């Protein structure tokens, strides 16, 4: 009897404990501090693991849902019911209205809602119900990552104040999965929403070299469930509508930033976003120019301890390192920065802690498969990790394995990349870069660098430079008007050899042009194609011009692609109709036409003021310099 009594007491106590445990981990509450699987692994591997945003010590138990889901009609178990109570909201200061956020969610299109419903697993977001806006509730199976409710988010149990609403089963397929991809976007001052809309289903994050998203950038990102990542690019803060508009400086230049200015700016950035930022990126490419344009490693380490690190810690953001590169000057700058930061670790006023840096930002402008294999390889085997580790050596009196382990335990962010620098003369045009990233140059590039990066566990994120930029380079994902370039098409479908990589637009060839002065049509020996030479000021005496008559469907601004050849970098004027000619700079392609191996390349330029119908585009008018490049063809992007 005594034994039976003790067993009974034990069972009852155990039941109470289990019930309390289940309730504490299952009742709906903000999903604070619950990192993704990638984040959990990264923090676990860190030598000085710090909690992610809003992480609490009480939320460290195994949250795997062990509920039996074999009988989905069991209404006695509240964990198997979805609630129909419009309770989507975002947990951030000053915003407590569930109705506001429900209405906001319902105002999105169906695809947008599906994307948001599947992506709002964020530490700063709360997910409480699904049926009205997100379809059926998930089944919490561990082998499915695409459910609306994943086991990273607590089970679906109504709070005590609400009774569950039992909805009849409806044979409706779940919404399409929202896969958190590595792919990101770089946005500057000039892009338009028409440009970035192409990537709303492939990109999961973006940055803009500033601390806050501009108005349209933020609204677009919020509407599509895309994360913004703030960045402190140089030794100052900028305003959100223009990174050239400096609000305060880190040095003694007036107005001088205080530490609280930086903390508050990042806090404002977080509060503005529906998808709360989780990361803060540090200084960008400080190794290219001498001061005061760039910061020395010593000054950067001081500013890091005074401004950057405190802003990340105060706002519970994961800190991404200053940019490095797999080059001598890039790694030399970064390792010197780390040494100075380590030296400042015990500074009584502005300590700099290398362990707070949890990600390593790199720039890479090569697309060859072997470069990614050897340079970035795996967590433990890559040239960049080896070279950085060797450069640090036993600095600080550390064991030789300390710095090696330090770099190995930090995931890589490729915050700028393209194929432009694989060849300097000529640089690769958009068509050639597209062929390389879509697997159409498989003999050398395999499935392409993006497929390679997506398969590499140690690379967590990447972004192509650039979405669009006014500099005349063939590197961009879109034209200014929003049309996709060949690279843009390839970026949307990495490794897909069916992607059309041809330069878009209606083509006008050299033979279609009208010529004046010494400008003449000839056959280029190196390419075997017809081209036009001597546009501009020929022999510094006589002006030659090339004019193409083009048709457009409506008045406005248009992009044109210009195929050209020049051994040295040359300038050339371009005018639309009777407008004032504007100079454009055409970089060298390496050889003249009479040389073996001469090749042409194509670059995009933007023209203003075309009118509906026929327009005249003239090259070489009113030149005050020697003749420009040899022109092969143009195409106007409609």
In 321-409, where do the E strands start and end? 324-325, 357-364
Q: Are residues 441 and 525 in the same domain?
A: no
pLDDT at 78 over 90: no
Contact 75, 120 (CB under 8 A): no
Q: Are residues 482 and 615 in the same domain?
A: no
pLDDT at 68 over 50: no
Output the pLDDT for position 166.
38
In a domain, residue 586? The reply is yes
Which residues partner with 89 through β-bridges? 126
Which of helix, strand or coil describes residue 605?
strand
Least reliable range by pLDDT among 199-213, 315-329, 414-428, 473-487: 414-428
Report the alpha-carbon distance of residue 438 to residue 527 in Å, rounded: 25
Looking at per-residue confidence, does 489 or 161 come out higher? 489
Q: Give per-residue pLDDT as tens, 446-455.
A: 889 999 999 9
Q: Are residues 616 and 474 in the same domain?
A: no
What average pLDDT score do residues 481-510 get?
97
Output the pLDDT for position 105.
53
Output the pLDDT for position 34.
30
Output the pLDDT for position 7.
52
What average pLDDT score do residues 301-308 get?
98
DSSP category for residue 284: -
Q: Are residues 442 and 563 in the same domain?
A: no
Question: Mean pLDDT across the chain, nearest whole number?
Answer: 79
H or E element, residue 574:
strand 570-576
In a domain, residue 501? The reply is no
Report the alpha-carbon distance of residue 366 to residue 368 in Å, rounded: 6
Looking at per-residue confidence, does 129 or 409 come out higher? 409
Q: On the CB side of 148, how many CA atoms lie within 13 Å of its CA?
A: 23
pLDDT at 73 over 50: no
What average pLDDT score do residues 527-533 get?
97
For residue 600, what are the domain limits? Answer: 506-636
Q: Choose one of 114, 134, 167: the last residue of a domain.
A: 167
Q: Are residues 120 and 237 in the same domain?
A: no
Q: Is the peptide bond before 466 cis (omega within 30 degrees of 0)?
A: yes
Task: Kindly report the CATH number assigned to the domain that includes residue 212.
Answer: 3.20.20.80
What average pLDDT score do residues 209-217 get?
95
Closest residue by Cα to residue 123 from 273, 224, 262: 273
Output the pLDDT for position 407.
96
Q: Give per-residue pLDDT as tens, 227-253.
A: 999 999 999 999 987 767 899 999 989
Report the alpha-carbon distance of residue 214 to residue 203 in Å, rounded: 18
What average pLDDT score do residues 506-528 get?
97
Q: Give per-residue pLDDT as tens, 2-36.
A: 444 445 544 454 444 444 444 333 322 333 333 33
Looking at per-residue confidence, does 123 or 195 come out higher? 195
Looking at per-residue confidence, does 110 or 636 come out higher? 636
What average pLDDT score do residues 371-399 get?
92
pLDDT at 461 over 60: yes
Report the alpha-carbon distance of residue 249 to residue 235 in Å, rounded: 6
Please give the distance of CA 527 from its chain centroid, rounded to a whole number.
37
Q: How confident is the model at residue 85 (pLDDT cuts 50, 70, 90)?
A: very low
Q: Are residues 348 and 259 in the same domain?
A: yes
pLDDT at 99 over 70: no
Q: Are residues 488 and 529 in the same domain?
A: no
Q: How confident is the model at residue 196 (pLDDT cuts 50, 70, 90)?
A: very high
Q: Are residues 455 and 591 in the same domain?
A: no
Output the pLDDT for position 393.
96
In a domain, residue 88? The reply is yes
Output the pLDDT for position 116.
52
Q: Are residues 144 and 211 in the same domain?
A: no
Q: How confident is the model at residue 40 (pLDDT cuts 50, 70, 90)?
A: very low
Tokens for 58, please give them.
């009480």
Q: Is the dihedral of CA 322, 325, 329, 332 positive or negative?
A: positive
Output the pLDDT for position 626.
84
Output the pLDDT for position 143.
35
Q: Give per-residue pLDDT as tens, 574-589.
A: 999 999 999 999 999 9
426-462 core/surface letters (b: 16 or more CB in 10 A; e: else): bbbbbbbbbbbbbbbbeeebbbbbbbbbbebebbbbb
In a domain, residue 341? The reply is yes
Least reliable range by pLDDT among 86-90, 116-120, 385-389, 614-618: 86-90
Pairing state between β 236-239 and 242-249: antiparallel
Contact 632, 531 (CB under 8 A): yes
Looking at per-residue confidence, does 153 or 199 come out higher? 199
Looking at per-residue confidence, does 151 or 370 come out higher? 370
Q: Choose one of 116, 135, 167: the last residue of a domain.
A: 167
Q: Is the dihedral of CA 487, 492, 498, 504 positive or negative?
A: negative
Report the alpha-carbon distance of residue 532 to residue 630 in Å, rounded: 6
First to last CA, the chain: 90
pLDDT at 134 over 80: no
533-548 core/surface letters (b: 16 or more CB in 10 A; e: else): bbbbbbeeeebbbbbb
Output the pLDDT for position 24.
37
Task: Kindly report the CATH number assigned to the domain that includes residue 555.
Answer: 2.60.120.260
In a domain, residue 223? The reply is yes
Q: Choose one of 138, 167, 196: the last residue of a domain.
A: 167
User: What's the domain count of the chain?
Assistant: 3
In a domain, residue 319? The reply is yes
Q: Are residues 189 and 150 in the same domain?
A: no
What average pLDDT score do residues 90-108 get?
45
Q: Give per-residue pLDDT as tens, 406-438.
A: 999 999 999 999 999 888 788 999 999 999 999
Residue with tokens 């843009």: 488
Pairing state between β 542-552 and 536-538: antiparallel
Closest residue by Cα to residue 135 from 159, 171, 97: 171
DSSP per residue over 56-125, as a string? -TT--S--------S-TT-TT-TTB----S---EE-BTTB--HHHHHHHHHTS-HHHHHHHHHH---TTE
In a domain, residue 562? The reply is yes
In a domain, residue 71? The reply is no
Q: Among residues of the chain, what percentage have pLDDT more than 70?
A: 72
Least reliable range by pLDDT among 56-60, 374-378, 498-502: 56-60
pLDDT at 332 over 90: yes
Q: Are residues 162 and 35 in the same domain?
A: yes
Q: Are residues 323 and 234 in the same domain?
A: yes
């Amino acid at each position: 009897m005594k034994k039976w009594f003790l067993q009974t007491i034990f069972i009852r106590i155990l039941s109470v404990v289990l019930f309390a445990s289940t309730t504490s981990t299952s009742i709906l509450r903000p999903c604070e501090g619950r990192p993704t699987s990638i984040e959990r692994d990264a923090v676990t591997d860190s030598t000085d693991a710090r909690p992610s945003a809003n992480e609490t010590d009480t939320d460290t138990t195994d949250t795997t849902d062990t509920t039996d889901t074999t009988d989905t009609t069991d209404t006695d178990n509240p964990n198997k019911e979805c609630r129909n109570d419009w309770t989507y909201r975002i947990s951030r200061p000053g915003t407590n209205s569930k109705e506001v956020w429900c209405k906001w969610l319902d105002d999105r299109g169906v695809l947008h809602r599906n994307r948001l419903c599947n992506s709002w697993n964020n530490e700063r977001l709360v997910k409480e119900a699904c049926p009205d806006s997100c379809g059926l509730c998930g089944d919490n199976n561990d082998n499915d990552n695409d459910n609306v409710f994943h086991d990273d988010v607590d089970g679906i149990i109504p709070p005590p104040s609400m009774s569950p609403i039992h909805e009849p089963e409806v044979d409706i397929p779940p919404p399409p999965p929202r896969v958190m991809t590595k792919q990101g976007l770089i946005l500057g001052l000039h892009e338009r929403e028409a440009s970035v809309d192409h990537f709303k289903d492939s990109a999961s994050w973006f940055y803009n070299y500033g601390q806050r998203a501009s108005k349209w950038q933020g609204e677009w990102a919020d509407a599509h469930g895309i994360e913004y990542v703030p960045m402190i690019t140089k030794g100052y803060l900028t305003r959100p509508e223009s990174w050239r508009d400096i609000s305060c400086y880190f040095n003694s230049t007036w107005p001088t930033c205080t530490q609280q200015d930086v903390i508050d700016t990042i806090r404002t950035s977080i509060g503005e976003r529906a998808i709360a930022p989780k990361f803060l990126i540090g200084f960008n490419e400080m190794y290219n120019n001498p001061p005061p344009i760039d910061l020395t490693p010593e000054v950067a380490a001081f500013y890091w301890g005074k401004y950057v690190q405190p802003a990340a810690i105060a706002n519970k953001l994961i800190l991404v390192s200053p940019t490095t590169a797999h080059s001598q000057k890039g790694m030399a700058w970064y390792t010197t920065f780390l040494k100075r930061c380590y030296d400042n670790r015990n500074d009584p006023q502005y300590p700099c802690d290398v362990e707070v840096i949890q990600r390593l930002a790199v720039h890479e402008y090569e697309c060859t498969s072997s470069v990614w294999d050897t340079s970035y390889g795996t967590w433990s085997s890559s040239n960049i990790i080896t070279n950085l580790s060797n450069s640090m050596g036993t600095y600080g009196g550390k064991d030789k394995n300390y710095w090696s382990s330090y770099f190995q335990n930090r995931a890589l962010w490729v915050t700028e990349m393209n194929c432009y620098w694989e060849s300097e003369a000529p640089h690769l045009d958009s068509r050639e870069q597209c062929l390389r990233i879509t697997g159409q140059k498989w003999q050398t590039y395999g499935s392409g660098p993006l497929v390679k990066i997506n398969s590499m566990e140690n690379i967590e994120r990447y972004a192509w430079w650039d979405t669009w930029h006014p500099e005349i380079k063939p590197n961009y994902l879109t034209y200014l008007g929003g049309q996709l370039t060949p690279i843009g098409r390839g970026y949307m479908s990495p490794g897909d050899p069916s992607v059309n990589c041809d330069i878009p637009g209606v083509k006008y060839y050299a033979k279609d042009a009208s010529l004046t002065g010494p400008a003449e049509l000839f056959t280029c020996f190196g390419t075997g194609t017809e081209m036009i030479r001597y546009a501009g000021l020929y022999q510094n005496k006589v002006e030659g011009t090339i004019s193409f008559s083009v048709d457009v469907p409506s008045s406005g601004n248009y992009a044109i692609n210009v195929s050209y050849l020049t051994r040295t970098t040359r300038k050339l004027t371009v005018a639309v109709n009777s407008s004032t000619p504007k100079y454009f700079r055409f970089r060298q392609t390496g050889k003249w036409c009479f040389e073996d191996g001469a090749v042409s390349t194509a670059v995009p330029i933007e023209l203003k003021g075309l009118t509906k119908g026929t327009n005249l585009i003239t090259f070489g008018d009113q030149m005050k310099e020697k003749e420009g490049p040899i022109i092969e063809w143009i195409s106007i992007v409609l």
